[in-house]
Structures are given as C-alpha cells and as structure tokens.
Amino acid sequence: MNAVLLGPHGADLAVLWSLFSHFAMLSLLAIGGAIATAPDMQRYLVVEKGWLDDGMFTDSVAIAQAAPGPNVLFVAVLGWNVAGLAGVVAATVGSLLPSTTLALSATRWGDARRDSRAVRAFTAGLAPLTLGLLLATGWVLTEPSRDHVGAMLLVPLTVFGLLRTQLSPVWLVAGGALAGALGWAG
C-alpha cells in the first residue's frame, strides 16, 4: 500500500487502537469543542508516544483551523500525520462517536428537565471550565514560539483585537501570517 496513505506509523492496529481509544476518552472531556482537549492530545502524541514533534502538532492544528469547515478538522490532520488515512478514521471516529452519543442523550434529558436547579447549575458551571480548557489549549499551541518575543506579543494583540474590535478573525490570522513571513514572529 502507498506509504503516503499509511503515514509514518503505518496501519499498525496497536497504533490505530491507541489513537482511537485515547481520542474517544478525550471526546468525553471536550467541553468547549475538540480544541479544548488539544493540550492532552499534544501530551499524548508528542510527549508520551513521540509520534509527532511540537512543531508538527502546532502546524497540524493551524492548518486545520485555517481551513474552512468545522473546528474538529484538526483531529483528522493529527490522525493523518500519525497513521495516514487509517489514522484519520481512527482519530475522527474516536473523537466524534462518544461525544456525539453523549451530547444527543444529554440534550434530550436536559430539555425535559430544563427548569431544574441541577441542570441550570450544571450549565452555569460549564462556562469557567470551558474557558480554562481553552486557555490551556492556547498555552500548548504557543510552545514552539515562546522563546520569540514577536510571536508572544501577537497573543495579547490578537486577544485585544478579538475582544475590543469588530475585526474578523481572518484578518488577525492574516496579520499573524504576515508577521511570521516577515520573520517578526517565529
């Protein structure tokens, strides 16, 4: 079979099962979307398994986030970089199946009990949890550039741009790309 379709770790069933099962477990923690679990994906794929390096992980997330489509596309790119086409299937199904099943069940249950105190408290408690997970994701994604002052200055500038202006995030991404191309941020 074509080496490009298999990826660097091939269609080894142990690799595919490991990828599927870890992403399935993470999908149940993906409050705020799959991107909120990126720090643990990085820990698992880069630090624990050594299947990717930090730059490859960050590039995979960046490429998928820049592409049009759902936020979860980065999971497929990570799977591709680990085990080719079979890795795409293992990572994507692992990431989507458990969380989708749980979300459908919880939505039906919660809609029937919308006015209960417990459901309202649970919903209110998810906001700070989601924010914390997204901040952790941001921290992991800045890892390859933390020693470059220009790149780290882009972080607060981007946050300011998102919170205080009506600029489309596309312009902020374009600004970051331009800064990187000019050598100011990486």
Are 177 and 109 found together in one domain?
Answer: no
Backbone angles phi, psi at 37, to 5 degrees: -100, 5
Same domain, 164 and 95: no
Domain coverage including residue 170: 147-186
Do 32 and 49 have their domain in common?
yes
Question: pLDDT tens digit string along 139-169?
Answer: 887 787 778 887 788 888 888 888 888 888 8
What pLDDT is recorded for position 11? 66
* 75 and 43 in a common domain: yes
Mean pLDDT of 87-115: 90
Residue 134 sits in the same domain as residue 156: no
For residue 12, pLDDT beyond 70: yes
* Percent over 90 (pLDDT), the chain: 36
Number of domains observed in the structure of the chain: 2
- Residues 119, 138, single domain; the answer is yes
- Contact criterion met (CB below 8 Å) for 77 and 63: yes
Q: Are residues 116 and 152 in the same domain?
A: no
The Cα–Cα gap between 24 and 21 comes to 5
The answer on 105 and 156 residing in a single domain is no
155 and 136 fall within a common domain = no
What pLDDT, on a 0 to 100 scale, did the predictor assign at position 47?
96
Would you say 137 and 36 are in contact if contact means Cβ atoms under 8 Å apart?
Answer: yes
pTM over 0.85: no
Q: Measured between alpha carbons, how far is residue 91 from residues 52, 75, 115, 184 in Å?
A: 14, 6, 36, 34
| pLDDT score of 10 more than 70 | no
Mean pLDDT of the chain: 85
- One domain, residues 163 and 122: no
- Note whether 60 and 73 are same-domain residues: yes
